[in-house]
Amino acid sequence: MQQTGSLEQKPIQQLNQSRVFDFESLPVRKNPNGSESRNVVHGELATGEHVAVHESVQPPGVPANPAHRIEHTEFICVREGTLEFQHDGITERASAGDILLVAKGTMHAVRNAGPTPASYFVVAIGGDVQ
């Protein structure tokens, strides 16, 4: 994260009431490599865990984001397409309906390994999610 002169802290959203997050109303962020993402929620559950959810779409043929290590746990839920999941010296494929577990401390990357767009939701829980 880049820091500039004054840091403005966003208040943490308290996630203690049931609701619907309208997917179509979420702003789309376009990334330099042609992928897109939508932030769904970033907050704290009533049980105290911090959680963040976003959706990403990778067009076919774009390079994966660089491998990175996380200090929280992630579930990546594949909505459509095929992902190649690199972790712990292993490469696995996942298709629509599959769920990836990225354990805390794992160096990992995902990339679209198919001929159509790959879309997936990332649910980050605990650790350094703030």
Distance CA 63, CA 93 (A): 16
Distance CA 22, CA 3 (A): 31
Distance CA 130, CA 74 (A): 14
Tell me the per-residue pLDDT of 29-87, one tens digit each, with 9 for 90 and over: 998 888 999 999 999 999 999 999 999 999 999 888 889 999 999 999 999 999 999 99
Boundaries of every domain in the chain: 33-125
Q: What are phi and psi of 4, to 5 degrees?
A: -125, 175
Mean pLDDT of 92-97: 98
Domain at 33-125, CATH from 2.60.120.10, 3.40.50.10190, 3.30.365.10, 3.40.50.920: 2.60.120.10
